[in-house]
């Protein structure tokens, strides 16, 4: 750890490193407690890169590496975009501060679940499956198909479960998602009849175009 301390002291002369506001006067970037190490700096990408490069140099020389599963990043006053850039750089998970807990106001399983889940972009087709109008089986198959995980024969063959990939409705081509919806002339003819029955004036389209049409309409 003495070697790490010497490496960190050399950072004082680097303009890329900006100190944590509470540590600027002392010019400190670390605290060590037995098996725990705290490193802190201003929450910008250049400062974190500088500090992390120093730690990596120490790891290469000593053979000591951070336990990713037990290491966390804590932020204060850093926008979410820069937070994500820092998380991507270091590969550590984001820890939760006392302020994060106070913002919850009261204990809520739902709020805790959302914190653990994180923020992810919503898929465009979510409203097609998150509704009460479809049967459970239809919703289940729709979700699988939208994810590209429908149990078609081509996938089952790759898993070694079957040998014959032929689509039994037409016996013309391997059974794939795209062939089902609606490269197959038989399934396309059936779908065209359903569209006319519902008063929709168009022909069957490839699966991705059908999915986009359903999202819009």
Task: Provide φ and ψ at 104, rounded to 5°.
Answer: -75, -20
Assess whether pLDDT exceeds 90 at residue 203. yes
Contact 39, 30 (CB under 8 A): yes
* pLDDT, mean of residues 68-96: 86
Assess whether pLDDT exceeds 70 at residue 105. no
pTM passes above 0.75? no
Q: How far apart are CA 204 and CA 151, in angstroms?
A: 22
What are the boundaries of each domain within the chain?
2-117, 132-216
DSSP 79-98: -HHHHHHHHHHH-PEEP--H
Query: Exposure string (b/e) for 14-39, b if CB count within 10 Å is 16 or more?
Result: eeebbbbeeeeeeeebbeeeeeebeb
pLDDT in tens, 113-170: 887 887 777 888 888 888 777 788 888 888 899 888 899 999 999 888 888 999 998 9
Contact 4, 55 (CB under 8 A): yes
Beta bridge partners of 94: 73
């Amino acid at each position: 750890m003495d070697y790490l301390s010497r490496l960190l002291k050399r950072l004082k002369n680097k303009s890329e490193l900006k100190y944590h506001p509470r540590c600027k006067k002392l010019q400190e970037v670390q605290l060590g407690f037995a098996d725990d190490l705290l490193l802190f700096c201003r929450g910008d990408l250049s400062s974190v890169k500088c500090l992390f490069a120093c730690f990596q140099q120490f790891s290469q020389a000593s053979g000591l590496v951070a336990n990713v599963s037990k290491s966390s990043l804590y932020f204060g006053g850093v926008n979410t975009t820069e937070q994500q850039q820092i998380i991507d750089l270091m590969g550590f998970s984001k820890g939760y501060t006392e302020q994060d807990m106070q913002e919850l106001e009261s204990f809520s399983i739902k709020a805790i679940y959302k914190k653990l889940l994180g923020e992810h972009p919503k898929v465009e087709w979510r409203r097609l499956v998150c509704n009460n109008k479809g049967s459970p089986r239809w919703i289940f198959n729709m979700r699988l198909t939208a994810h590209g995980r429908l149990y078609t024969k081509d996938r089952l063959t790759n898993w070694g479960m079957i040998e014959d990939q032929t689509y039994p409705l037409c016996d013309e081509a391997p059974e794939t998602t795209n062939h089902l919806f609606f490269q197959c002339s038989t399934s396309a003819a059936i779908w065209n009849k359903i569209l006319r029955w519902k008063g929709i004036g168009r022909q069957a389209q490839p699966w991705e175009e059908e999915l986009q049409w359903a999202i819009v309409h």
